[in-house]
Amino acid sequence: MDSLPNDAWRTLSTEACVETKVKGSRFIGRAFPLSSVESIEAKIHEIRKAEYNATHNTFAWIVGYGDAQAKRYSDDGEPSGTAGRPILQALEGQEITNALVVVTRYFGGTKLGTGGLARAYGSSAKDTVEAALPVVRFHKDLVSLTLSFPQYNLWMKRLAELDISPGETRFEEHITMELAIRKSLTKDAHDAYVELTRGQGQWTLLVP
């Protein structure tokens, strides 16, 4: 898999649930796009409550970006390293963040051994992540700017060339527009704006 650009990140586009059987044991994988530890902990609690008869409810999650990224996994009573770690690797292998994967197991009477467990949990997690449709998103800068009416059409053409979609636009004495710009394109967009307005426009980087 190709490495992501510096201003990109990959997450899940939807929830997913995939059930498989290995030597009688049922493995139910569930994946969720979630961006806070609080929401993740609530979801884990919800699943444990719903699957209280399960033999194990194992999980792994990753939240955040770069140096601020946090991650955690749990074997929930399975032998160390056979469940949580393979689930986490299914996320790390695709550089996915802001996501939770829970794999519930109902024991089927046949022991799988540590290697078999790791393969079963890893395969369940991988299939569930794929079913949740990984998607690449981009870190963006939110910008507010002003234009004169004669500048509007030229600016819209320049935005199209940069593949930037205009946001909320207000037509009053002047035109005020908001843009969500992929960070790697912000400098090009700003340079184009300064050139168009000859440095007379108002470009404001908004703080989320």
Q: How far apart are CA 7 and CA 153, in angstroms?
A: 29
Tell me the pLDDT band of 207, cut-offs 50, 70 and 90: confident
Do 22 and 109 touch, CB atoms closer than 8 A?
A: no
Mean pLDDT of 149-164: 96
Domain edges within the chain: 8-136, 139-206
- For residue 3, is pLDDT > 80? no
- Say how many C-beta atoms besides its own lie within 10 A of residue 88's C-beta: 21
pLDDT of residue 1: 61
Q: Which of 130, 73, 76 is nearest to 105 (CA)?
A: 76
pLDDT of residue 43: 98
pLDDT of residue 6: 83
Tell me the pLDDT band of 208, cut-offs 50, 70 and 90: low
Name beta bridge partners: 57. Answer: 104
pLDDT of residue 177: 97
pLDDT of residue 12: 98
- For residue 32, is pLDDT > 70? yes
pLDDT digits (tens, 9 = 90+) for 35-66: 999 999 999 999 999 999 999 999 999 999 98
pLDDT digits (tens, 9 = 90+) for 92-149: 999 999 999 999 999 988 999 999 999 999 999 999 999 999 999 999 999 999 999 9
Compute the half-sphere exposure of residue 60: CA atoms within 13 Å on the CB side of its CA. 24
Tell me which amino acid residue 3 is: S
Mean pLDDT of 178-205: 95
Mean pLDDT of 170-191: 95
Please tell me the class of the 139-206 domain. Answer: alpha beta
- Terminal Cα distance for the chain, rounded: 32
pLDDT of residue 2: 65
Mean pLDDT of 195-202: 93
Q: Which of 92, 96, 191 is nearest to 143 (CA)?
A: 191
pLDDT of residue 71: 97
Q: Which residues contact 110 (CB under 8 A, 6 or more apart)?
A: 23, 24, 25
Kind of pairing between the strands at 56-63 and 70-74: antiparallel
Q: How far apart are CA 105 and CA 113, in angstroms?
A: 14
pLDDT of residue 66: 85
- Domain with residues 8-136, CATH architecture: 2-Layer Sandwich (3.30)
Q: How far apart are CA 32 and CA 12, in angstroms?
A: 7
What is the overall mean pLDDT for the chain? 95
Q: How far apart are CA 99 and CA 132, in angstroms?
A: 10
Using DSSP, state whether 74 is helix, strand or coil. strand
